[in-house]
């Protein structure tokens, strides 16, 4: 069933069955553990993987996590069941289930990355979601003696996240940056207009709502703390948005109390451990085919695709062929209209192959972007079409000669077939 839905390995079924037998199973499993939650529209899986990497080295006890991206309660139960009932747990949480997870799992840390339009037929509009987050974050306990209560680590550059998290009693605001502003122009506080300055500062033109005082912020490749200390952000994952995710992780990791076998980490240690992380759940991984290195990238919505195009500008040869794969299953959202919010015009000049179950929608979008393209409905054939047109790679560790960009289930389908 979950394979049919294109959603992963099948572990979720056990979790669903467990919850059917005892709806409080998640709360029982999470009791006595140190829990961190990661939520937001984009970067959840990657940031969850980064936080796990930041908390562990070869000597420490493994951190329990939902590595398959199964980020709803059945997936959380599946991740926790059968593991030692103590120690640290890092869970990626679907935006719509954050309230439920906070109530069941009593986290020490909640990391809130960003909020933008995604799967409008399932998750609902951004402002509806923000209102739900505000209510649940407002009920958090402040941090007290002995590690009780919850610290929220929130992106100070996303007005929607700030509006949601400003009800929480203890927040570490991180200036992680936010490229996508198109869902945040209408002020969530008063209906006025949120104005973004070139410096990155922002505020409403009608009320007091503005960027909060930051605990830390990203300046290019350096994480600057409000106390003046500076940490280089040299991480293994590519792209500006992953340095932003690293900044969130570097602030979140030291907030977890740790255990004897999982000692508390410093900002510097957390960042140093991210240098060795080169892929998370297959995202940013590379595979070889006929002497060509293919990089696998996942993007689900306009903000995510825009960030991935920035990554291509930063780290891909400007003429490297690109395979674009689009599905529209439950996990992707049934409506493909969002393709028209993605700046595909930026791919002009590359060889572009359109594939996936909704390649026809993609083809029409590319036609109006005036980007030359071929349509190859089978994803593996599409990859091979691009490979045939690509320059050979210098070696398995050389730069990628083909870029594969898929949305959620399109990405998972291709990984299974490679």
Partner 1 sequence: MSTTAGSRTPLTVVVIYPDLLGTYGDGGNGLILARRAEWRGLEVNLIQAPSDRHLPRGDLYCLGGGEDGPQVRAATTLIADGTLLRAAADGAVVLGVCAGFQLLGRQFPDAADRPHDGLGLLDVTTRKGSGMRAVGELVATVDEAAPAGIDGARLPLLTGFENHGGVTTIGSGASPLARVITGVGNGGGDGTEGAWTDRVVGTYLHGPVLARNVGLADLLLGWALASRGETFPRVALDDVEESALRAERLAGVGNVRSARSDRERRRRV
Stretch that binds partner 1, among 121-129, 166-174, 230-238, 271-279 (CB under 8 A): 121-129
Single out the segment in contact with partner 1 by CB under 8 A; choices: 25-33, 82-90, 188-196, 228-236. 188-196
Q: Which of residues 330-369 bind partner 1 (CB under 8 A)?
A: 334-341, 360-361, 363-365, 367-368
Taking a C-beta distance cutoff of 8 angstroms, is the pair 369, 345 a contact?
yes
The contact mask relative to partner 1 for 279-318 (x = CB under 8 A, - = no) is ----------------------------------------
31 is a contact residue toward partner 1 (CB under 8 A): no
- Closest approach, Cβ 383 to partner 1, in A, equals 21
370 is a site residue for partner 1 (CB under 8 A) = yes
- Cβ proximity to partner 1, 140 vs 324, nearer residue: 324
**Min CB(326)–partner 1 separation in Å:** 12
Closest approach, Cβ 183 to partner 1, in A, equals 7
16 near partner 1, rule: CB under 8 A: no
State in angstroms the smallest separation of the CB of 126 from partner 1.
7
Select the span of 114-122, 303-311, 319-327, 400-408 touching partner 1 (CB under 8 A). 114-122
SS3 content of the chain, % helix, strand, coil (to 5): 35, 20, 45
Q: Which is nearer to partner 1, 139 or 334 (CB)?
A: 334
User: Interface with partner 1 includes 125 (CB under 8 A)?
Assistant: yes
Work out which of 22, 57, 121, 141 binds partner 1, going by CB under 8 A: 121
Backbone angles phi and psi of 352, in degrees to 5:
-120, 130
Least Å distance, CB 339 to partner 1, is 7
In the 8-state DSSP scheme, what is residue 187? -
Residue (3 or 367) nearer to partner 1, CB: 367
Taking the alpha carbons of 204, 206, 209, 212 in that order, is the dihedral positive or negative?
Answer: positive
> Quick one: which segment of 66-74, 91-99, 180-188, 384-392 binds partner 1 (CB under 8 A)?
180-188
CA distance 340 to 356: 17
| 227 binds partner 1, rule: CB under 8 A | no
Distances, alpha carbon 177 to alpha carbons 154, 223, 244, 401, in Å: 11, 12, 7, 29
Identify which of 209, 193, 178 has the alpha carbon closest to the alpha carbon of residue 307: 178
- 183 near partner 1, rule: CB under 8 A: yes
Give the bridge partners for 296, in sequence order. Answer: 404
Minimum Å gap between C-beta 114 and partner 1 is 16
Nearer to partner 1, 117 or 273 (CB): 117
Q: How far apart are CB 335 and partner 1 at their closest, in Å?
A: 4
- Residue 287's CB: how many other CB atoms inside 10 A? 18
Distances (CA, A) of 155 to 66, 162, 251, 349: 23, 7, 11, 35
Q: Is 191 in the site for partner 1 (CB under 8 A)?
A: yes
Helices (H), 124-189: 126-137, 159-165
CA angle (290 as vertex; 285, 291 as ends), nearest 5: 70
Residue closer to partner 1 by CB (options 27, 185) is: 185
CA separation for the pair 268, 287 (Å, rounded): 31
Q: How many residues of this chain bind partner 1 (CB under 8 A)?
A: 32
- Of these, 57, 141, 182, 221, which contacts partner 1 (CB under 8 A)? 182
Shortest Å distance, C-beta 338 to partner 1:
5
Could you tell me which of 54, 186, 68 has the C-alpha nearest to residue 126? 186
Supply the DSSP symbol for 171.
E
Whole-number minimum distance, CB 31 to partner 1, in Å?
31
**Alpha-carbon separation of residue 323 from 2, 145, 291, 378, 379 (angstroms):** 26, 53, 17, 11, 8
> Which residue reads 């992707």 in tokens?
332
* Cβ distance to partner 1 smaller for residue 152 or 369: 369
Applying CB under 8 A, which of residues 19, 28, 81, 120 lies at the interface with partner 1?
Answer: 120
Residue 155: closest CA among 180, 132, 136, 138? 180
Give the pairing of strands 286-289 and 34-39: unpaired
Quickly list H helices, 338-378.
359-368
Q: Which residues are at the interface with partner 1 (CB under 8 A)?
A: 117, 120-122, 125-128, 182-183, 185-186, 188, 191, 193, 334-341, 360-361, 363-365, 367-368, 370, 375
């Amino acid at each position: 069933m979950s394979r049919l839905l294109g959603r992963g390995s099948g572990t979720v079924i056990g979790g669903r069955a467990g919850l059917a037998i005892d709806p409080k199973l998640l709360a029982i499993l999470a009791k006595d553990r140190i829990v961190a939650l990661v939520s937001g529209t984009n970067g959840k899986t990657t940031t969850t993987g980064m936080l796990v990497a930041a908390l562990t080295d070869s000597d420490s006890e493994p951190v329990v996590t939902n590595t398959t991206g199964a980020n709803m309660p059945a997936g959380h139960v599946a991740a926790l069941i059968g593991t030692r009932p103590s120690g640290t747990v890092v869970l990626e949480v679907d935006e719509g289930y954050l309230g439920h997870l906070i109530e069941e799992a009593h986290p020490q840390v909640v990391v809130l990355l960003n909020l933008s339009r995604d799967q409008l037929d399932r998750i609902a509009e951004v402002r509806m979601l923000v209102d739900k987050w505000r209510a649940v974050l407002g009920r958090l306990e402040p941090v007290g003696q002995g590690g009780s209560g919850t610290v929220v680590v929130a992106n100070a550059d996303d007005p929607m996240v700030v509006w949601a998290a400003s009800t929480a009693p203890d927040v570490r605001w991180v200036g992680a940056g936010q490229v996508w502003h198109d869902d945040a122009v209408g002020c969530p506080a008063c209906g006025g207009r949120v104005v973004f300055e070139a410096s990155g500062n922002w505020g409403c033109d009608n009320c007091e709502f503005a960027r909060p005082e930051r605990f830390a912020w990203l300046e290019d490749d350096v994480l600057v703390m409000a106390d003046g200390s500076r940490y280089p952000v040299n991480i293994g994952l590519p792209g500006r948005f992953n340095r932003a995710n690293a900044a969130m992780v570097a602030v979140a990791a030291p907030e977890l109390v740790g255990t004897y076998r999982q000692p508390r980490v410093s900002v510097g240690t957390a960042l140093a451990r991210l240098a060795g992380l080169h892929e998370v759940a297959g995202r940013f991984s590379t595979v070889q085919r006929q002497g060509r290195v293919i990089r696998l990238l996942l993007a689900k919505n306009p903000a995510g695709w825009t960030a991935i195009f920035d990554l291509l500008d930063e780290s891909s040869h400007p003429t490297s062929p690109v395979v674009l794969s689009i599905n529209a299953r439950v996990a992707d959202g049934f409506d493909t209209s969002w393709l028209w919010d993605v700046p595909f015009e930026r791919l002009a000049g590359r060889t572009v192959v359109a594939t996936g179950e909704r390649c026809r929608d993609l083809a029409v979008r590319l036609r109006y972007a005036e980007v030359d393209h071929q349509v190859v409905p089978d994803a593996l054939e599409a990859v091979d079409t691009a490979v045939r047109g690509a320059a050979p790679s210098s070696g398995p560790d050389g730069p990628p000669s083909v870029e594969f960009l898929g949305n959620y289930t399109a990405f998972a389908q291709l990984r299974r077939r490679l």
